[in-house]
Structure 1
Amino acid sequence: MAIGSYDRQALEYVNGRPQYPPQLFSFIAKHSPHRRLAWDVGTGSGQAALALSEMFERVIATDVSEQQISYAPRRPNITYAVTARAMSLQELESTVGEEGSVDLVTVAQALHWLDLDTFYGHVKHVLRKPGGVFAAWCYREPVVNPSVDCVFEEVFRASVAFWDPPRKMVDEGYATVCFPFRSVVQEGSEEGASTTAPIKFWAKKEMGLEPYLNYMRSWHAYQKAKATGVDLLDEQTVARFKDAWAESENDVKTVSFPVFLRIGVV
C-alpha cells in the first residue's frame, strides 16, 4: 500500500522494482479452488493485479495512492479503486464485495504498512467460507555479485536509521507477522516442519547500473534520508558502484530478489 513519500517517487518505484516470479502466482492459484474474484490490496502500480487477471475472472485492485495506480496496466477484468487508509465495512462492501464474495486476497510488499487487526477483520469478512485464500509476500535486498553486493550492504546499513519500524517485518521475511489463517505448507516439506515458515521464491530482473541505482532511490528510506540532507547515493558511493559494476555502466546484470510468501485459508 503506497503511502506518504511513495507518491513522490511513483515512477521510480514502477521502473525500479522487480517483477514477481510466475511460479509465485502459479503456487497461489494452485491453492485457490475458486477463481471468480481476487482482491489485490495495496496494488501500487498493479504488478500483482496484472498477473492475477490471467488467472481470475475479476480482480479488484485497491491502493491509497492515486498516483501509483495511474501507472498500473489496464485490463478489462481489473477494476482499480483509490481508497481511504481505513475503510468501514460499508465502504469495503461497496468497493470490493459483499460478505463471503471474494475467493483470494493478496498483499504484495505492503502487509507491514497495514493496521493488521482491522485489515484481517475485513479480509475474513469478504473471503469465501470455506475455501477463501489469503496470500501476502515481501521481497528483501537484491543479490548481484560479491563486488556489487559489498557496496550495497554498506548503503543498506546506512539506510537502516531511516526505515520506519514496520520494515522489521520485511527484514524477517514475514516469518513473525501475525497470521490468523491456516497456513499452507510447501510440498516436499519434512513431516513436522513449521507451518509458519515463509515459502521462498526468487524474483529476477535484468538491470543496468542506473536502473539498479533507481531501485534504491525508490526506497522510502532513501527519500526520508534525502529530506534530512543525507544522500545515501552521493557521488562517492555511485563511483564505487560503477567500479563494482565492472565492465561498463551499460552492462546488464541479473539482479535477484528473494521473495517470501505467507499463504493460508480461512
Structure 2
Amino acid sequence: MAKLFIEQAKQYAKTRPSYPQELFEFIASKTPSRDLVWDVGTGSGQAARSLAGIYKNVIGTDTSLEQLEFAPKLPNVRYRQTSPVISMGELEQTVSTQSSVDLVTIAQAMHWFDLPAFYQQVKWVLKKPHGVIAAWCYTVPEVNDSVDSVFNPFYTVDSDPYWEPQRKLVDDKFMTIDFPFEPVEGTDNTGPFKFVAEKMMDLDEYFTYIRSWSAYQTAKAKGVELLRDDVIESFKSAWIKDGQNQKVVKFPVHVKIGKVGNI
C-alpha cells in the first residue's frame, strides 16, 4: 500500500485536508484519560498535529518514510516507520506495552489494513475497558454545483478503473467495514458519524489534490493521463463560473468509533 503514495508524498501533505477540530473534540470526549495515542497510518501527520494539542503523547506510525518526512515535528509526537505487517514484538517495542494506550486513531487508512490481525493488536494495546478506537475516512470533495457536475463523472467513470478495490469501503463511508467494538458512552452504535473538513483551494491546488490520488498515479504508470486537456478545460470553465478562484472545498468525514470493553 505504501508504494501507492511514495511518488506524491509532497502533494499529499500539501493538499489533503486537516480534519475539523469538532471531530477531535468528539473523540476526546469519549476517552476517560488523555495520556497516549497511537495514530496508525499517520502519513504526513494531518491527524497527529491535532491530537498533539489534546493528548499528552502521540505515537504516529507509518510504513512510508517518504510520508513521514513531511509530518509536523512536535515535541510530544514521536514518529516511527514500521513493517507493513507488525508483529506483537514490534508493536510493544515501537508503540507501547499491553493495555497502555488510551486511543487508537486511523485517518483515511484503515481500508488498507489486514483488519483481523490489526484488531487483535488494537485490543491488546488499548486500556480496558474504556480504551477507544476511532477510524475515519473522507469522501469526495464538494465545491459547488458547477464544479461538482464535472468532478462526479470524472471520479465515477474516468478514475474508477484505477482505484484499488479497497476504495469501495471509503465510498461506502465505512458503513460496510468490519468494526468489532462496543459503542462508546453517549452513543447507541459505532457510527459512522459525519463531520465536515474544509480547505481553501484555488484551481491549481484542486488539480494537485487530484494528482495526489493513488488512482492518478496508477493511471499514470499505465500511460493514462486522467487530467487530459479536455478535462482540464471542463474544470476551468466550471471553476471560474462564479468569478472566484479561491473556493471553500468541503470534504465529508465519516468516523467509526468504539471502545475495547472487557476482553
Question: Do the structures match in fold with TM over 0.5?
Answer: yes
Structure 1 counterpart SS, 2:252: strand
Separation in 1, partners of 2:226, 2:243: 19
The residue correspondences of 1:170-209 to structure 2 (distance < 5 A) are 170-184=170-184, 195-209=189-203
Structure 2 counterpart SS, 1:79: strand
Q: Percent identity?
A: 49
Separation in 2, partners of 1:123, 1:172: 23
Structure 2 counterpart SS, 1:244: helix
Alpha-carbon spacing, 1:144–1:186, altered in 2? closer, same or farther (3 Å): farther
Q: Which residue of 2 aligns with 1:169?
A: 169
Q: For each residue in 1:18-63, what CA deviation from the matched residue of structure 2 results, as whole angstroms up to 9, or x when unmatched?
A: 1100000000001111111000000000011111111111000000
Q: Which residue of 1 aligns with 2:41?
A: 42
The residue correspondences of 1:9-158 to structure 2 (distance < 5 A) are 9-157=8-156, 158=158
Q: Which residue of 1 aligns with 2:250?
A: 256
Q: Which amino acid aligns with 1:61?
A: G
Q: Which residue of 2 aligns with 1:243?
A: 237
Q: For each residue in 1:79-102, what CA deviation from the matched residue of structure 2 results, as whole angstroms up to 9, or x when unmatched?
A: 000000111111100000000010
Structure 1 counterpart SS, 2:117: helix
Alpha-carbon spacing, 1:185–1:58, altered in 2? closer, same or farther (3 Å): closer
Structure 2 counterpart SS, 1:48: helix
**Deviation of the 1:248 alpha carbon:** 8.4
**Deviation of the 1:235 alpha carbon:** 1.1
Contact 2:181 2:190 (8 Å CA) reproduced? no
- Structure 1 stretches of 4+ moved >6 Å: none
RMSD across aligned C-alpha pairs, in angstroms? 1.5
The alignment covers a number of residue pairs equal to 259
Alpha-carbon spacing, 1:206–1:65, altered in 2? closer, same or farther (3 Å): same
Structure 1 residue runs of 5 or longer lacking an equivalent are: 188-193
Mapped pair 1:159 → 2:159: yes
Separation in 2, partners of 1:183, 1:226: 42
Q: Which residue of 1 aligns with 2:212?
A: 218
Structure 1 counterpart SS, 2:194: strand
